[in-house]
Amino acid sequence: MEAFPNANFSLTGEGRAPRLPLGGMGIPILLFLASVWFWENPLVYPIKLLTVFFHELSHGLAAVITGGSMHTIELTADQGGLCWTAGGSWFLILSAGYLGSLLWGAGLLYAAARTRADREIVQFLGGLLIVVTVIYVRTTAGVIFGLSFGAAMLAFASQFGEVACDQLLRYIGVTSCFYVILDIKSDLIDRSIPQSDAYRLAQELHLPSIVVGVAWLLFAIYVTFRVLEATLRQKQ
C-alpha cells in the first residue's frame, strides 16, 4: 500500500485513504445490507432499475458482438425490461441477460478495488447511461431513469473525490451481483415463467428450465464469491 502523507480520509477527498474498513468494502457492504432491509424504499429503486438496465443492455451487446443488431430497449416502472434484437447467437443473447448484469456488477466492483480510475469509471457509467438511453430506450420510464441517473452519476463524479466514487462503484457492484442471484432464484427456480430467458433457452436446448436456472445460479454465486474475495484484498 502506498503512503499518502497528505491523504484526505473524507469521502469527498481527492486522495485515496491508505486503509478503509474490510479492504474498502466496509461501507459498501453496510449500504448493501441497509438496501436489503429497506428493499421497498424509494431510495433503493434506482439501483434496481440500473440492474434491469444492465440486463437488457447485455442482451443487446451479445447480439451485436455475435453479428446481430440491437434495435430498442424497454424499461418499465415496475422493473420490467425487454431488449429487441435481430440476428446473432440465440444461446449467448439469451444467456447474457442475468449473467451480463452479473458481470457488469462484478466488473465495476473489481475495477473500483484494483484501479485508481474511480472517477473516470463513474463518468463513463453516467455517459453510457445517457448515450444508450438516447439511442435505444423507447419507454417513458426508461428515458426518465436513464437520463436522470446518468446525469446524477456525472454530477457525482464532478463534485466528489476518488474515495467517494470508489465506494459508490463498490456499492453498485455488490448490490448488482446479489440482486442478480436473488433474481435468478426468484424468476427461474422458485417459479417457471414462460417468457423468461431461462425458459426460452431451456426450450432451445430441450432441457427443463430449472436446469438452466440452477446452472446460472451456481455460476452467479461463484463469480460473486470470487470477485468479493479479490476486492477484500488491499490495493498494492
Compute and round to an integer the Cα radius of gyration of the chain.
Answer: 18
Show the cell assigned to 200: 426460452
Q: How far is CA 134 from CA 37, 48, 85, 102, 142, in A?
A: 34, 20, 17, 24, 10
pLDDT tens figures, 70-96: 999 999 999 889 999 999 999 999 999
**Residues of the chain with pLDDT > 70: what percent?**
85
Q: Grade residue 23 by pLDDT with cuts at 50, 70 and 90.
A: low
**Residues of the chain with pLDDT > 90: what percent?**
56
First to last CA, the chain: 5
Whole-number average pLDDT of the chain:
85
Answer with the residue of higher pLDDT: 112 or 231: 112
Chain centroid to CA 186? 18
